[in-house]
Amino acid sequence: MILAAGRGKRMRPLTDRVPKPLLPVAGQPLIAWHLQRLARAGLQDVVINHAWLGAQIPAALGDGSRWGVRIRYSDEGDTGLETGGGIQRALPLLGEAPFLVINGDIWTDFDFAGLQLAEGDLAHLVLVENPAHNPEGDFALQAGRIGDTGPRYTFSGVGVYDPALFADCAPGAFALAPLLRGAAAHGRVSGELHRGCWCDVGTPQRLRDLDRQLRERTDGA
């Protein structure tokens, strides 16, 4: 699942007319970079949620065949359901097995093919070194487990979740982080640190910086 329902307030005015996942980066929509990487990893069935200016997303991406994937959409109306609520609403499309979720407003070279969820765990999180805009981090990681001890890192927006994580959640808007912290407190969340490329494309400046970096990488190839 790719999360694409956010309003993108920090991106305004760019997101006043275009949903953030469709903003162009090095010649294609930001979300298309995820679709390409998912296809290369052999992950072909994709669910994308949408809300703000949401009709533009299926109009732009269609059924996903041009990227070698099959896309289904979860429409959240105009306001969105936050991260947790958006995933919970999409569960009928995601099935009963653990599933990968990626924030639509990040860029990363992480290899999705290697992700898995250990038996008994409810979630596996990919963390990154803390960027300047999040110096305190989000979660502590120690010996491959998310808990209360160990260095704190930033959640990358890439995770694998068991549907059971959402078993007690009522429909509606709610955040994902409290669910993850609750499961971690019961020893049911694993994690890993990604030391490769990652960018939270949260502001126009970061979008411009990523565009320049990817174009330079392409030109130098």
Give the model confidence (pLDDT) of 23-62 as tens digits.
Answer: 999 999 999 999 999 999 999 999 999 998 889 999 999 9
* CA–CA dist 192, 109 (Å, integer): 15
Number of folded domains in the chain? 1
What CATH number did the domain enclosing 157 receive?
Answer: 3.90.550.10
> Which residues span the domain enclosing 209?
2-219
Mean pLDDT calculated for residue range 65-90: 95
Q: Residue holding tokens 């704190």?
A: 152
Round the CA-based radius of gyration of the chain to a whole number and report it. Answer: 17
pLDDT tier, 220 (very low <50, low <70, confident <90, very high otherwise): very low
219 pLDDT exceeds 70? no
Between 128 and 221, the more confident residue is 128
Q: Per the confidence metrics, is the pTM higher than 0.75?
A: yes
Tell me the per-residue pLDDT of 107-138, one tens digit each, with 9 for 90 and over. Answer: 999 999 989 999 999 999 999 999 999 999 99
Kindly give, in sequence order, each residue whose CB lies less than 8 Å from that of residue 78, ignoring residues fewer than 6 positions away: 51, 52, 54
